[in-house]
Amino acid sequence: MKTFFKIILAILAVLIIAMLVVGKAYHYEKSIVINAPVEKVYGNASSMKAFNQWNPWMKLDPNLKVDYSGTSGAVGDKYCWVGNKEVGEGCHEITALVPNQKVGTKMLFKKPFESDATSDILFTPEGNTTKVTWNMDCELDYPMNLMKFFMDGQMDKSYGGGLIKLKEISEQ
C-alpha cells in the first residue's frame, strides 16, 4: 500500500511540474501559398461573411445559427453562433484591418466552456502568389494547459482545411 501511495504522489508531482513548465500561453499558426493576387485573397477574408465561406467550423453543424452585426468589412464586423456540441456557442469579431496585409480578430467562446482567443490572418505577396499565415493565441488555465500536447493536431486539421478552402475560392 505504501508503494501505491508513492506512485500516486510521483504521478501527481509530475503532472504539477508539467503544468508549470508547459505554461498557460498557447500559439498556433499555419501557412499556405495561394496562386492569386493579394487583393483577391484579402477580399476573401476581410469580412465575417467572406471568412465564413471557408471557415472550417461552419460545416460541423448543418443547423448552425449565425447572426451578423456591425459593418461588413470594417472593424467591429461580427458574427455570433449557436450550434451543436462540436461548435458550441460564441462570437467572432474583426478587431484590426490593414488592407492586403492583415485581418485581426477576437473570438469569445461561451460553450462548451468560456474562453477567448485572438487570431490574425496575415497576407504576404510573393510575386504572383500570396502567402497566407493564419495564427491563434490564447491562454489555457491550469490544468487545461496540458491540452496543448493534443491541440496542434486538431488545429492543424481545422486551420489546414480552412486554408485549403480559401485557396480554392481565391484561385477561381
Rounded to whole angstroms, the Cα distance separating 62 from 33 reads 29
Q: What is the mean pLDDT of residues 56-60?
A: 89
Confidence of residue 162 (pLDDT cuts 50, 70, 90): very high
Residue 9 lies inside a defined structural domain of this protein: no
Residue 33 lies inside a defined structural domain of this protein: yes
**Could you tell me the CATH number of the domain that includes residue 53?**
3.30.530.20
Residue 19 lies inside a defined structural domain of this protein: no
Quote the pLDDT of residue 144: 67
Residue 147 lies inside a defined structural domain of this protein: yes
Residue 10 lies inside a defined structural domain of this protein: no
Residue 146 lies inside a defined structural domain of this protein: yes
pLDDT in tens, 105-158: 999 999 887 889 999 999 999 999 999 999 999 877 666 655 666 677 888 899
Residue 118 lies inside a defined structural domain of this protein: yes
Q: Which residues of 18-45 are buried (b: 16+ CB within 10 A; e: fewer)?
A: ebeebeeebebebebebebebeebbbbb
pLDDT in tens, 79-96: 999 999 888 999 999 999
Residue 12 lies inside a defined structural domain of this protein: no
How many domains would you assign to the chain? 1
For 120, the domain range is 24-170
Q: How many CA atoms lie within 13 A of 80 on its CB side?
A: 9
Rounded to whole angstroms, the Cα distance separating 71 from 69 reads 7
